[in-house]
């Protein structure tokens, strides 16, 4: 798992969590840990190869109130961009 932060000149700040190769429930567990390290309104980009992540992130977003602002898949890598509430 790799966690990197970029410092763009505009807000919100984007942090990337590389959860590729982790199986359920670890992408959600790592996301829950990582989102606590960013400020309210900032973005967390999560990359994962777990196909169950689509349903997992939808449910996690509903229960936590953190919004999925973008979701895509490219070559078996699922990408979620979440905004911290």
pLDDT tens profile 37-59: 999 999 999 999 999 999 999 99
pLDDT < 70 regions, the chain: 5-10
b/e map of 46-71 (b: 16 or more CB within 10 Å)? bbbebeebeebbeebbeeeebeeeeb
Is 24 known to be catalytic? Answer: yes
What's the pTM value of the predicted model, to 2 decimals?
0.88
pLDDT of the residue at 9: 53
What domains can you pick out in the chain, each with its CATH number?
2-83 (3.30.110.40)
Catalytic residue among 3, 14, 22, 24: 24
CA distance linking residue 18 with residue 73, whole number of Å: 14
């Amino acid at each position: 798992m790799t966690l990197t932060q970029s410092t763009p000149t505009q807000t919100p700040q984007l942090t990337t969590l590389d959860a590729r190769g982790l199986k359920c429930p670890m992408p959600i567990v790592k996301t829950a840990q990582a989102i606590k390290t960013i400020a309210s309104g900032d973005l967390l980009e999560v990359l994962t190869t777990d196909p169950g992540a689509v349903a997992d992130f939808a449910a996690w977003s509903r229960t936590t109130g953190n919004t999925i602002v973008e979701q895509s898949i490219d070559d078996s890598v699922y990408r979620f961009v979440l905004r911290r509430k």
